[in-house]
A and B are shown apart, each in its own frame.
Chain A
Amino acid sequence: MSNPGADSSLTIAVVYPDLLGTYGDGGNGLVLARRASWRGVGVRLVQANSGRPLPTADIYCIGGGEDGPGITAAKALRAEGTLQRAADNGAVVLGVCAGFQLLGHSFPDSADRSHAGLELLDVTTHKGTGRRAVGDLVAVPTPSAPRRAADQPLPPLIGFENHSGVTTVGPEARPVAQVVTGVGNGGGDGTEGAWSGRVFGTYLHGPVLARNTSLADLLLGWALSTSDGPVALEPLDDTDELALRGERMAAVERSGRSRVVRWFRGLRP
């Protein structure tokens, strides 16, 4: 284990916030940047707008967006290839919602026409036939989910989903979590998100890293790890975040969106 020295520095790029910044996911870049700088790591946070070359970065955050701009973004990213090359070289990639979908083989527009993705995750997304998934999403990480250390599994992931995609996870990737409340990947297996290597996709907005600081630190750890192994990140004061998590979990239980509650209600028509 080694500590991040004062000379280490990190470049975090928010990918095309002008096209994929509709759902507040740009906050993920800010959360990572602050949590690194609060630990004395030098950080450069880049809002990498479309229409110019994507900078080389250690972490790329891709957010949710509308159909049209999402297609434009995928085309531009495929054409220039910077993101795929960076990922091949070990950069961390976080994709949320439409940003998750476009990391895969293909993703749909509103008419379920298929558009080519970036092929960074073995997932495929189609348009669902049911109602749009909108609401609080709570999912418990599976044993195959990434962890910061062997004895540090991720706690439950919480956030807000708003999508109509059905994402199927292929054998080269693994689901992140099992849905307790909400829809997640929507493929009928109750899974949420997918990851492989240092590429992580999820349907959670909130932004996801503000509500799940353990996940933020997991991604930071990936980005800061050296050939000597993972780095130790000193704990931060997450009082505000923990209070918010407690409040959200309680609210979800009250709202009865939980599967368990719905199931019990189903017994009593």
Chain B
Amino acid sequence: MTAPTSSPPQVLPARASVAVKALQLSNWLSRALGRGSGTVAGGRVGLALDPALLATLANGRRVALVSGTNGKTTTTRMLVAALSDEGGQPIASNDTGANMPAGHVAAMVESFGSPTAVLEVDEGYLGRVIEDTHPRVVVLLNLSRDQLDRISEVRMLAERWRAAMDGLRSPSGRTGPGTVVVANADDPMVAWAALAAPEVRWVGAGQVWHNDAVGCPACGGRIVFGDQGSWACDGCDFARPPCDAWIEGSVLVTADGSRHSLAIGLPGQFNRANAAMVAVAAPCMTDDGAPGGPGPRLSLPAVLDRIATLDQVQGRFASSMRNGHPVRLLLAKNPAGWVAIFDLLDESRPPDSPVVLSINARIADGLDTSWLWDVPFDRLAGRSVTATGDRRLDLAVRLHYAEVPCKVVPDPLAAVDRAIDMGSRGGVDSVPGADGGIDFLGNYTAFADFRKRI
């Protein structure tokens, strides 16, 4: 292994140049020592030497930021796919999911000459990254409870987002086109934040989880959800904004009445929602925003074409073979995510197909497992369920009270083998699932560990 030879362009200030060199050296060392891909470690070193490094690296690039509790990684990947033919150069993107500034800096250095950056941003860092990168587009997906021991409560996050959106009205020391915010109008917490932004494209992308949005963030009143996706506060005039585009089943409808099929390679309604956000966001990235200008170079149908072929993201939704059976890997990190995954199971599997559930509670997952009780596990009734992961006993107790029988197997691979065996013996056709496959559902580190092992 040799030390990195690529050097930053001449335009970097001396301090940033030193920081980038140190970052590259750290990454090289980290890889050489076998301590992982090193992107976060290198990014931290770079930012320690030059706190303005992210701003310096973002200067002159067209940046899109994607944030929200669920769907960040997939939506970021879709947005990269949608924009990847623009300009013929690689797009800087933190596709490993390192979604704090250290990861952003590392991604920018990795694709040094790229004029475009698409960054997934941790919900808590959005304000800071907006200030540093002066983004052309910010995509706000959803906000719901997640890792309450580590991340702020939903309302605190919504307020911080709102302050960041308000900050877009008076960008400090920058010129050029302003920021377009693409916001999910079906999530009141997102709407509360985005209403403070100067320019918003509202997308009715849907939201299966309403439990964190009942108290009105404006007046403390009650938000009442209607049948057709509408919602409104019963105490003030805070209500679902009129949309520029919205989802009807698997069709994206735009305000001018045109209809576009959301037939994409990734499964589930939540991925159609992510696609709808990208279909609106990607054209904004190709629009200079000049009054009377040519408008977006990329059309909405062209975006949907480009993301249609995507069929897995960082191993999510992909199937791996185990003893001749496909094992589909699904990630769900919080109650809203699990509900979305259960919808996906109902849509894509027979009602008795086997599932393996793996739960950890390490730092990256959140240390508290109480959230398991917000997940409607009774929806798995009828399936052969195997519980595994570090916190399989918490899961077993939860399933016990959901009256869903489960088998506890400490080792995740052994758990999958057991599920395959159950499926082979159980089904009429002697095969589990429609395609002979089973599903592995894990939270963050449980998923990552299993993906490495299978």
Contacts and interface: CB of A to CB of B under 8 A. Distances in A.
B259 interface: no
A26 B214 contact: no
A104 to B, nearest CB: 21
B32 interface: no
Nearest to A210: B397
B370 A244 contact: no
B398 interface: yes
Contact of B396 (A22, A34, A240): A240
Interface stretch (B146-154, B172-180, B282-290, B339-347): B146-154
B404 to A, nearest CB: 12
Nearest to B394: A244
A22 B369 CA distance: 12
Contacts of B212: 22
A162 B149 contact: yes
Interface stretch (B23-31, B75-83, B371-379): B371-379
Contacts of B401: 27, 30-31, 34, 210
B84 interface: no
Contacts of A30: 373, 401
A205 B368 contact: yes
Interface in A67-86: 67-69, 71-72
A31 B400 CA distance: 10
Most buried by B among A30, A135, A211, A244: A244
Contact of B370 (A50, A134, A207, A240): A207
Contact of A23 (B148, B394, B398, B403): B148
A207 B394 contact: no
Interface in A8-39: 17-19, 21-27, 30-31, 34
A69 B214 CA distance: 9
B395 to A, nearest CB: 9
B443 to A, nearest CB: 14
B298 to A, nearest CB: 40
Interface string B123-143: 000000000000000000000
Contacts of A241: 397, 400
Given A24-B374, A134-B149, A244-B397, A18 B214 contact: yes
User: Which of B367, B369, B401 has the largest number of chain A CB atoms within 10 A?
Assistant: B401
B373 A24 contact: yes
B215 interface: yes
A211 B145 CA distance: 22
B222 interface: yes
A57 B393 CA distance: 32
A34 B403 contact: yes
**Contact size range, A:** 35 or more
A172 B220 CA distance: 33
Interface in B390-426: 393-394, 396-398, 400-401, 403
Contacts of B398: 27, 210
Nearest to B387: A240
Contacts of B211: 17-18, 21
A27 B373 contact: yes
Contacts of A210: 373, 397-398, 401
Interface in B354-386: 367-374
Bin chain B's interface residue count: 20 to 34
A34 B215 CA distance: 29
A17 B214 CA distance: 10
B234 interface: yes
A113 to B, nearest CB: 14
Contact of A24 (B155, B156, B372, B396): B372
A206 B397 CA distance: 11
Contacts of B370: 23-25, 27, 160, 205-207
Interface string B187-214: 0000000000000000000000001101
Contacts of A72: 215, 220
A21 B374 contact: yes
Residue of B145, B148, B154, B397 ringed by the most chain A CB atoms within 10 A:
B397
15 contacts: A22-B145, A22-B153, A23-B148, A23-B368, A24-B373, A26-B374, A30-B401, A49-B214, A66-B155, A67-B153, A211-B397, A241-B400, A243-B396, A244-B396, A247-B393
Given A25-B373, A27-B401, A244-B396, 15 more contacts: A18-B211, A21-B211, A22-B212, A24-B370, A24-B373, A30-B401, A51-B234, A66-B154, A67-B153, A68-B215, A69-B155, A69-B214, A160-B367, A160-B369, A207-B370
Interface of A: 17-19, 21-27, 30-31, 34, 49-51, 66-69, 71-72, 134-135, 160, 162, 205-207, 210-211, 240-241, 243-244, 247
Closest 3 CB pairs of A and B: A27-B373, A24-B370, A18-B214
